[in-house]
Amino acid sequence: MFASKTIETGDKPEFYRELAGQLGGLLHDERDFIANAANLSALVFDLVPNLNWAGFYFLRSNDELVLGPFQGKVACVRIPVGRGVCGAAAAQRRTMLVPDVHAFAGHIACDAASRSELVVPLVKDGKLLGVLDLDSPSPGRFDAEDQVGFEALAAIYVAASDFA
């Protein structure tokens, strides 16, 4: 049975290395992308400070993301590709780090308490699968080190999971 361990370091790169190690152990020998998304969301929500939402949106057609497993308050179910932070990350296939969501044109406010957001696209063999979405109630919560850390976690998730 897997049990997460509190990560006690003030060094962000070390924090994300330890978190990635825990994620690797958690996803070991499990290939189901839904189960893995649920466990990644729970692990991140449990161990990463100052989040109010952590979860997934999966591409279900060429122009729409649909809510997947998450931790946090109820969320928007469908997001058009190209709209909001998640839709922009999907359309551009690049990570979106938004220090102030109120300054992001077209932001979709699923939770009015969210103030900053980090969205990482999930791509496997050149195909967009969806996005990993992280929200915080604090403006400027995410920085370049968080981006690198979450991109590494997303890569572990994509490599461990079968998408069918």
What is the dihedral angle through the alpha carbons of 68, 71, 74, 76, rounded to the nearest 10 degrees? -40
**The predicted structure's pLDDT at residue 3:** 85
**The predicted structure's pLDDT at residue 104:** 80
What would the DSSP string read from start to end of 45-114? Answer: HHHSSS-SEEEEEEEEETTEEEEEEEEES---SEEETTSHHHHHHHHHTS-EEES-GGGSTT---SSTT-
Cα–Cα distance list, 52 to 23, 40, 75, 136 (Å): 20, 15, 11, 5
**The predicted structure's pLDDT at residue 69:** 98
Amino acid (one-letter) located at 149: G
**The predicted structure's pLDDT at residue 164:** 74
**The predicted structure's pLDDT at residue 2:** 84
Q: What is the mean pLDDT of each run of 10 residues along the chain (164 residues)?
A: 88 97 97 98 97 97 96 94 95 96 77 88 96 97 98 98 90
Asked whether the beta carbons of 88 and 82 are under 8 A apart, the reply is yes
For the chain, list the domains and their CATH numbers.
12-160 (3.30.450.40)
Nearest-angstrom CA–CA distance, 135 and 72: 9
Nearest-angstrom CA–CA distance, 60 and 106: 21
**The predicted structure's pLDDT at residue 102:** 86
3-state class (DSSP) for residue 117: strand
